[in-house]
Amino acid sequence: MDESFDNKRKHPRHEVDWSVFMIQSNKKIKIGHIADISFSGIKIILEESVFIKNEPERYDLTLLRTDSPEDRMHLAGRIVWSVKSEDSLIIGLELAFLDKDSRMKLEKYIEKKEGLSVQIKLESMQKDL
């Protein structure tokens, strides 16, 4: 990633390894992972097997606790950068405004780190399907 971009961050980045899933035909399909998160943005790494139709400018995400699926948090972000490599698509999302309660809830998710996953709403399909 561009060092100058890192220097522009408003909030500290927290390295995480949260699986990213999409729901397709009532199946939960792993398509990548979250590499890092802050109050202002998220770095998502999507696997090469994912083909995104009409890559959106906005992504809607749901953070889920695997031990408590009803405990969830909805986030939205817009793409501020993306990089394609041979085996992945790396996306930098700037998060939409978070109010005080949302920031506190996100902070708890970040502190917990374990047992979390993310569902992403995309008009996507896996190449293998």
Where do the domains of the chain lie? 18-122
Q: pLDDT per residue over 83-121, tens digit each?
A: 888 888 888 999 988 889 988 988 888 887 777 888 887
Fold (CATH) for 18-122? Thrombin, subunit H (2.40.10)
Task: Please check the confidence at residue 7 and state whether its pLDDT lies above 60.
Answer: no
Task: Give the pLDDT confidence score for residue 3 in this predicted structure.
Answer: 43
Other CB atoms within 10 A of residue 73 CB: 17
Q: Do 42 and 32 touch, CB atoms closer than 8 A?
A: no
Residue 116 β-bridge partners: 65
Task: Please check the confidence at residue 43 and state whether its pLDDT lies above 90.
Answer: yes
Q: Mean pLDDT across the chain, nearest whole number?
A: 79
